[in-house]
């Protein structure tokens, strides 16, 4: 398999990871519209299976890139590896952009899926009926919606915590570079690459803490308030749109900026160990 083929495959999996993880944001709005928040949140886990599978297939290809770079052992090869990782991050940005364009369609699709699940009670059976029953294809096709600027007319930042959105962009950028930074550090320290690769957790750990304590609870609070009529439903729609926007900025700008410093940070910790 050629080098460029591997790069394209890795970029595709990164695209799919960010596509599915970003579409999970729209599940909140679908849950609000259907009044089934608990079911919609359980659907998030099912949707993220695509992300987990993409990670599983992507990991050995990233490892091969590092092994090939170490085998060549030249500064040019190391520079090419870093450039490749930056292209992979662009693939992630494109996944978020695609998710944003697909959101109107996916909100309707998720809403249809939630109502179908309430009737059928089995996710595998429901998926089979929706995908393999020709008479139900019309319902799926009816969900296709072209994104229009007019859909953003009730979007507002007034009632949305700004720190929450900033932290989401930071968290997205850290998650996107955690493994890449550790692999890059391993390429620069080939004799200690196993240690460097295992240290991806010291980068991703910060993102996990921020997401668990600051980002996810705030999004859940806004959604629950909208369900109980304390906030307008448009606030949840605004949250979905601005979470996607902050994730785009996180992958396209912040991740590109912090990739090299994160790799240097992991190399410093590796040497200390």
Q: List pLDDT tens digits, range 139-170.
A: 778 888 888 888 888 888 888 998 989 999 99
Handedness of CA 234, 238, 239, 244 (dihedral sign): positive
For 74, the token pair is 């030249």
Host domain of residue 227 = 3-142+159-272
Helix (H, G, I), strand (E, B) or coil at 273: coil
> What percent of the chain has pLDDT above 90?
47
pLDDT digit string (tens) for 189-207?
999 999 999 888 888 888 8
Q: Tell me whether residue 210 is in a domain.
A: yes
User: Does position 123 have pLDDT exceeding 80, yes or no?
Assistant: no
User: Does position 93 have pLDDT exceeding 90, yes or no?
Assistant: yes
Model pTM above 0.95: no
Q: Tell me whether residue 259 is in a domain.
A: yes
Check residue 160 and report its DSSP letter. S
pLDDT digit string (tens) for 218-253?
988 998 899 888 999 899 999 999 999 999 999 999
Q: Tell me whether residue 254 is in a domain.
A: yes
Looking up tokens 């790069």, which residue turns up? 7
Q: Tell me whether residue 199 is in a domain.
A: yes
Q: Tell me whether residue 135 is in a domain.
A: yes
CA distance 83 to 182: 15
Which candidate, 86, 78, 54, places its Cα nearest to that of 186? 78
Q: Tell me whether residue 154 is in a domain.
A: no
pLDDT at 1: 65
Query: Number of folded domains in the chain?
Result: 1
Q: Tell me whether residue 89 is in a domain.
A: yes
User: Does position 108 have pLDDT exceeding 70, yes or no?
Assistant: yes
For 44, the token pair is 């998030």
Q: Tell me whether residue 26 is in a domain.
A: yes
């Amino acid at each position: 398999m050629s080098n460029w083929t591997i790069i394209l495959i890795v970029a595709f999996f990164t695209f799919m990871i960010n596509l599915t993880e970003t579409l999970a944001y729209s599940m909140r709005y679908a849950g609000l519209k259907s009044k089934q928040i608990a079911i919609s949140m359980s659907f998030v886990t099912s949707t993220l299976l695509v992300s987990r599978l993409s990670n599983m297939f992507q990991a050995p290809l990233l490892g091969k890139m590092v092994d090939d770079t170490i085998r060549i052992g030249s500064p040019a090869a190391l520079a090419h590896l870093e450039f490749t990782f930056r292209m992979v991050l662009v693939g992630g940005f494109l996944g978020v952009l695609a998710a944003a364009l697909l959101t109107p369609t996916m909100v309707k699709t998720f809403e249809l899926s939630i109502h179908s699940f309430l009737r059928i009670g089995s996710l595998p059976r429901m998926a089979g009926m929706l995908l393999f029953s020709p008479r139900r294809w019309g319902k799926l096709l009816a969900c296709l919606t072209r994104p229009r600027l007019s859909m953003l007319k009730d979007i507002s930042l007034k009632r949305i915590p700004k720190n929450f959105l900033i932290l989401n962009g930071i968290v997205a950028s850290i998650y996107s570079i955690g493994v890449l930074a550790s692999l890059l550090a391993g390429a620069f320290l080939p004799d200690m690459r196993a240690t460097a690769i295992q240290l991806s957790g010291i980068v991703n750990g910060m993102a996990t803490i921020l997401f668990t304590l600051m980002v996810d609870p705030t999004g859940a609070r806004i959604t629950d308030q909208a369900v109980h009529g304390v906030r307008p439903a448009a606030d949840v729609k605004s949250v979905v749109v601005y979470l996607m926007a902050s994730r785009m900025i996180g992958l396209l700008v912040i991740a590109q900026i912090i990739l090299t410093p994160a790799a240097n940070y992991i190399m410093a910790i590796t040497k200390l160990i």
